[in-house]
Chain A
Amino acid sequence: MDYFIELFFSGLSRGAIYALIALGYTMVYGIIGLINFAHGEIYMIGAFTSFIVATILSILGLPLLAIVVLTGLAAVVWSASYGYTIEKIAYQPLRHAPRLSALISAIGMSMFLQNYVLLAQTSDFLPFPSLIPDFHFMEPVAHIVGSTDLVILFTTTVAMIVLTVLVKYTKIGKAMRATAQDRTMAMLVGINVNRVISATFIIGSSLAAIGGLLIASHIGQINFYIGFLAGIKAFTAAVLGGIGSIPGAVLGSIVLGLTESFATGYVSSDYEDVFAFSLLVLILIFKPSGLLGKSDTQKV
């Protein structure tokens, strides 16, 4: 039973991280109907920025809390800037192009970013400093629920609440929802659609940066290639929950995280990624609209 609970919590925290990345996919898809293939790379850049900033700060000898806060801030700022810039360069000129073009441009961007980090940094796995302290007070249950899991779950929950408030109650959130529903109509009622799209990219990238920071300090190592797999899995989660739907992305991520965790725990750890991809293929075949998604009828 302990093993089951352990797997459950590790699956939950895994799902929470997927959710942070998946939200970026789902929001961008909801607004401009494009799979932002470079989103996984934004998460990777978030992890690298955290790595660099955290190491410099720890050399300077700052207290742990200050390091965590400043690192998080830096990761969010830079990832958001990357998200904004990528949209301006690779997606905005293609707003009216066929979808295939936009998708290929996104793949190109993703390859570019990977190799940019590879060339500027290194292809080796870099050891990431541990930013999450052990909570000594929870010694009796510590082997079941790690402090990392708790921090991840807590951070993700806070991020979700902030996002929900943002989308539901603020002006930019309203504009985002309006643009997602009908871009032309939103333009007609005076919404600056370009600004809304930029805001979506910025918000999505910030969430991905938090995900990058969390997963990097959880796993303890980073590499230029981590974005690809994480991106695909987060996308799987977004599709699983119904792409374009914010609660769907969270639900899908948790389902995916639990599936992976139990599959590795009870079946085999070698096939962890195979499970994720198989789940993706199965979902798309049997329910292309996802768990909470609306099925779209195509207009003629």
Chain B
Amino acid sequence: MISFREIQRCFFISLWFVFLTFPIMVVRVNSIEQTVQWRWMNVVYVLVGSFFLSLAFRYFLKRKEMQSGKQETSGDTSGQSLIHRALSVPLYRNSIYAVLLIVAVTFPFLTSTYQVNIMTTALMYVVLGLGLNIVVGLAGLLDLGYVAFYAVGAYTYALLNYHFDLGFWQVLPIGGLLAALFGILLGFPVLRLRGDYLAIVTLGFGEIIRLVLENWGEFSQGPSGVSNIDRPGFFGIELSLDQAILYIYLLMVLFVVVTIFLVNRLQDSRLGRAWIALREDEIACQAMGIDKIKTKLAAFSLGALWAGIIGVVFAAKTTFINPASFTFLESAIILSIVVLGGMGSIIGVIIGALVLILLPEYLRALSEFRMLAFGAILVCMMVFRPQGIIASVRRTYTYKSRKQKQNA
């Protein structure tokens, strides 16, 4: 499949990358002590690495082109409908769910507190991903400031707890609703904007919230953040640290289950259909008589609601928050969960969250390269597999109806 000419080309490409990365990879200078450090070994790494990467890049690009050609002629899509097929049979589906739930509940009793902590974080990202999935995956509105709502929830709990000594369960609905309110506040003015502009406004909004939290010291205690936040209470019983961690973990399992249920129902509701219509074609959607403003606002505020709730959980779990937890990077991580998993697909988002959050935790050596890998994965995903790990169910649906037609 790969000819000699192509190998030759890849060699030239890797030479080009050696040139490209030369100053930044090879040279390290200290302008105060006036010393230069040459790292010649990096030349070799770049040369070999970029040679194989460009070979792989070309190979996959070629395969993708061939596949898209094949698809046009045969009308065949979806190479990985196995999961969807398994889930479409109620008996299989229910037993899979039951097994997963049992595993999730027994998990903390079989492993250490450390593992439980990591898993709790991963589950939080599952819910965050599912929340953002409503906005990005279903409604097609790219929200780059999602973490702002997360921050709203976290700070609501932190500050109400600090000033008025309100408990976790009292603040949980308040945090969620306040975040939803912020969602409406942001959504309302930006409704007219499309695509890229919307993304930028949400990014700006997210940064404004973070900067205000950082600079408005009297309100949010500035960069030093709020500490000593109460852990969630359990009917007034004092919990030890281990018990509290277990408690939050089980809460998160519950939240995940509830979220999956609700998002699933939402997806199939009138509103969910309207979101998908909005994503596919805004003008056609309006022509169908869908109230664009209401639909967008609903997407924004519902997505924000989940972020707010998880924000409250986050504050309760870590017992300390500061603005540094709510940077654009966090939004980008949640977005990459949605994109990597498969926009609009619930299973996809769950898998995406588990992969992106758990993998770097268990591969400690890789954690330094985590963000580098995030970036590269986002690019490669968009180039080679824009539909994500698990494509949205809708595609399979089209495929099936066609097949049924042929059979009939």
**Residues in A lying within 8 Å of B, measured CB to CB:** 34-35, 45, 48-49, 51-53, 55-56, 58-59, 74, 78, 81-82, 85, 89-90, 93-94, 97-105, 107-122, 126-129, 228, 232, 235-236, 239, 270-271, 273-274, 277-278, 280-281, 284-285, 288, 298, 300
Contact = CB atoms under 8 A, between A and B. Distances in A.
B196 A35 contact: yes
Given A59-B36, A127-B31, A270-B215, A105 B379 contact: yes
A127 B20 CA distance: 23
Contact of A103 (B16, B196, B211, B372): B196
Contacts of B371: 111, 114-115, 118
Contacts of B386: 97-98, 101
Interface in B176-230: 189-190, 192-197, 199-201, 203-205, 207-208, 211-212, 215
B376 A108 contact: yes
| Shortest Cβ-Cβ A-B pairs, 4 listed | A108-B378, A112-B375, A111-B375, A105-B382
Contacts of B201: 280-281, 284-285
Contacts of B16: 81, 85
Nearest to B206: A277
B43 interface: no
A111 B370 CA distance: 10
Contacts of A126: 31
A110 B203 CA distance: 14
10 contacts: A53-B23, A55-B29, A104-B378, A111-B332, A116-B24, A232-B203, A274-B211, A277-B205, A281-B189, A284-B201
A159 B336 CA distance: 38
A100 B368 CA distance: 28
B140 to A, nearest CB: 7
Contact of B212 (A78, A110, A274): A274
B378 A277 contact: no
A274 B23 contact: no
B266 interface: no
B24 A121 contact: yes
A111 B190 contact: no
Contacts of B329: 111
Contacts of A51: 29, 31
Contacts of B197: 239, 284, 288
A178 to B, nearest CB: 23
A78 B42 CA distance: 18
Interface residues of B, number: 64
Interface in B287-328: 328
Contact of A85 (B20, B195, B368): B20
Most chain B CB within a 10 A radius of its CB, from A45, A228, A236, A284: A284
Contacts of B339: 104
Most chain A CB within a 10 A radius of its CB, from B140, B204, B336, B377: B204
Interface in B349-401: 368-369, 371-372, 374-379, 381-383, 386
A55 B368 contact: no
B98 interface: no
B24 to A, nearest CB: 5
A277 B211 contact: yes
B27 interface: yes
Contacts of A52: 23-24, 27, 29
B32 interface: yes
B40 interface: no
A232 B142 CA distance: 16
The A interface is mostly helix, strand or loop, or mixed, namely helix
Contacts of A97: 382, 386
A231 B313 CA distance: 33
A297 to B, nearest CB: 11
Contacts of A94: 382-383
Interface in B17-37: 17, 19-21, 23-25, 27-32, 34-36
B335 interface: yes
A16 B56 CA distance: 42
B61 interface: yes
Contact of B369 (A117, A119, A274): A119
Contacts of A101: 382, 386
Contacts of A108: 336, 374-379, 381-382
B393 to A, nearest CB: 19
A103 B20 contact: no
B207 A232 contact: yes
A111 to B, nearest CB: 3
A107 B378 contact: yes
A34 B200 CA distance: 12
B234 to A, nearest CB: 40
B283 interface: yes
A92 to B, nearest CB: 9
Interface in B257-280: none
B306 to A, nearest CB: 21
Contacts of A280: 200-201, 204
Contact of A35 (B25, B36, B57, B200): B200
Nearest to B377: A108
Given A97-B382, A107-B335, A112-B379, A82 B203 contact: no
A277 to B, nearest CB: 4
Given A55-B30, A121-B24, 14 more contacts: A59-B35, A82-B20, A103-B195, A108-B374, A108-B377, A108-B381, A108-B382, A114-B371, A118-B371, A277-B207, A277-B211, A280-B201, A284-B201, A285-B201
Contacts of A105: 378-379, 382-383
Nearest to B204: A277
A136 B189 CA distance: 51
Contacts of B195: 99-100, 103
Contacts of A110: 375
Given A108-B382, A273-B211, A129 B196 contact: no
B194 to A, nearest CB: 8
A56 B23 CA distance: 11
Nearest to B194: A298
Given A108-B378, A111-B375, A274-B215, A117 B140 contact: no
Contact of A284 (B21, B29, B61, B193): B193
A112 B329 CA distance: 12
A53 B27 CA distance: 9
Contacts of B36: 55-56, 59
